[in-house]
Chain A
Amino acid sequence: MQRSKNDVWVGLFVLLGAAAILFLALKSANLLSMNFQTTYNVTARFDNVGGLKRQAAVKSAGVVVGRVDSVTFDDKTFQATVTLALENRFQFPKDSSLKILTSGLLGEQYIGIEAGSEADNLKAGDRIQATQSAVVLENLISQFLYNKAAEPAPTSGSK
């Protein structure tokens, strides 16, 4: 009798442990919704992608519509080629434009896609022409400093 009672409790314990692992996999790592959306790939060229990484979000009007599939460098055009995996249920016009944006001041970078006005929609393998590079903070600062230095000094008195 003692034996069979132990069995039940050990079974419960193992079940609880398995449930915990399942919880971690499903709820915290989101195993289910990862591969269930079918996607189509489009590419785009950027002069500068900043800190854009794989798996970064592609958002339209703030809603996630896809993910960045890969970021590679093209040594023919000296530009970055970004492949986007957009979800099949979202269609965008052919002349949509891409922008690399930052969530918050120091947050992660993501791609914003703005719908164009053309009647045809993007298909798998298409290339989006209109792109806008990431804003690199260092360039902004150096530009600002350069402009400042070019101004005449306010205390020189000649004015």
Chain B
Amino acid sequence: MKFIANIGFGVRSFLANLGHGAALFVRLMRLFGVTMRRFGLVRDQIHFLGNYSLAIIAVSGLFVGFVLSLQGYYTLQRYGSSEALGLLVALSLVRELGPVVSALLFAGRAGTSLTAEIGLMKAGEQLSAMDLMAVDPVQRILAPRFWGGVITMPLLAAVFSAVGIIGGWMVGVLMIGVDAGAFWSQMQGGVDVWKDVGNGVVKSIVFGVTVTFVALLQGYEAQPTPEGVSRATTRTVVVASLAVLALDFVLTAMMFSI
């Protein structure tokens, strides 16, 4: 009997969490205008989430470009088409790796700090205190972080892809000796501005919404104890990463299937 009751409790709390999350998401979306009117708060969040993530994003992009170029060359030269290296590097970065890897890094670098910050605010009862002072914590604390993250993510993904292409060029052209003209012209022949670059930007915006929202929700829903905050931080990384990878499959299937 206890077992069945447990199942019922689990399902109900799952549904309640889902409903709560959806309500928070809709509220954050509707707060767009109000948040943008106080842009100072958003700007501080962009500074915190974006500028400080720039180093890890740029360095990772560079190394991903290096590896992609080395590995791609190894495969392509078997078929005698090593000139297509530029195309391979650019397409994989712009379409998939740029948005996805930078979203995963963003979840680890910025998402965790958002969760911990808001979880600790909750544990220290700062959020309740704001509520008592008739300051809406969702509007004052969550919304600027949310929109800051959504603005930051596409910029980081673009930096990742651009640095990655330069990294691929360094290894492919400077180190291995693929012809520089073929490297760029194959890339320019095969990459479409709207279909590839544009869809990559759309993807990174979707991932920005996903990662930032998951981080904020986990922090907002965390148990107000040190243990609860640490659990919420872990959950942020796990849930956000899985969500990004699953969404990437769905988006790729929708955008590039034909």
Chain A residues with CB under 8 Å of chain B are 3, 6-7, 9-10, 12-14, 16-21, 23-25, 27-31, 33-34, 57, 104-107
Contact = CB atoms under 8 A, between A and B. Distances in A.
Nearest to B84: A107
Interface of B: 40, 43-44, 46-47, 50-51, 54, 79-81, 90, 94, 152, 154-156, 158-159, 161-163, 165, 184, 187-189, 191-193, 196-197, 200-201
A21 B43 contact: no
Nearest to B53: A13
A13 B158 contact: no
A16 B152 CA distance: 11
Contacts of A28: 90, 94, 165, 187-188, 191, 197
Given A17-B50, A28-B165, A29-B191, 4 more contacts: A20-B162, A24-B158, A57-B189, A106-B79
Given A7-B43, A24-B94, A29 B188 contact: yes
Contacts, number: 85
Contacts of A105: 80
Nearest to B196: A29
Given A10-B50, A29-B197, A17 B154 contact: yes
A28 B190 CA distance: 9
Nearest to A105: B80
A17 B155 contact: yes
- Most-contacted residue by chain A among B47, B94, B161, B163 (CB, 10 A): B47
Contacts of A106: 79, 81
B51 A10 contact: yes
25 contacts: A6-B43, A7-B43, A10-B46, A12-B51, A13-B50, A13-B152, A13-B155, A16-B54, A17-B50, A17-B154, A17-B155, A17-B158, A20-B158, A23-B165, A24-B161, A24-B162, A25-B193, A27-B165, A28-B165, A28-B187, A29-B191, A30-B189, A33-B188, A57-B189, A106-B81
